[in-house]
Homo-oligomer: A and B are copies of this chain.
Amino acid sequence: MSKLLKNYLSPPAFSFRENAIKKARASQLTSSLVDVCKLMGIPPLPAPLADSLTFNHVQIKPGQVIYSTGQPFTTLYIVYSGFIKTTLDAAAEDEQILDFPMKGDLLGTDGIHRKHYTSNAIALSHCNLVMIPFDVLMEIGKRSSELEVGIYSIMSRELIHKQRMLKVVGSLSAEERVAHFLTALSARFSALGYSDKEFKLRMTRREIASYLGLSLETVSRIIAALDRSGLVAVDGRSITINDSYRLKTLRRLPQVNVSKNVFANNSHNESYTAPVA
Contact = CB atoms under 8 A, between A and B. Distances in A.
Interface of A: 88-89, 94, 96, 98, 109-114, 118-119, 138, 141-142, 145, 148-149, 151-160, 162-167, 169-171, 210-213
Contact of A109 (B142, B151, B159, B170): B159
7 contacts: A88-B166, A96-B167, A113-B154, A118-B163, A141-B145, A142-B142, A170-B210
A167 B89 contact: yes
A94 B109 CA distance: 31
A154 B141 CA distance: 17
Contact of A169 (B159, B163, B169): B169
A156 B212 contact: no
B162 A159 contact: yes
Given A163-B98, A166-B162, A169-B170, A156 B113 contact: yes
Nearest to A148: B141
Nearest to A119: B163
Contact of A112 (B89, B109, B153, B171): B153
A109 B167 contact: no
A118 B160 CA distance: 7
A142 B148 CA distance: 9
A210 B163 CA distance: 13
B167 A165 contact: no
Contact of A151 (B152, B153, B157): B152
A40 to B, nearest CB: 12
Contacts of A98: 163, 166
Contacts of A210: 170-171
Given A113-B153, A145-B141, A148-B141, A166 B167 contact: no
Given A96-B171, A148-B138, A170-B96, A159 B110 contact: yes
A163 B213 contact: no
Of A112, A154, A157, chain B has the most CB atoms within 10 Å of the CB of A112
Contacts of A153: 112-113
A149 B109 CA distance: 12
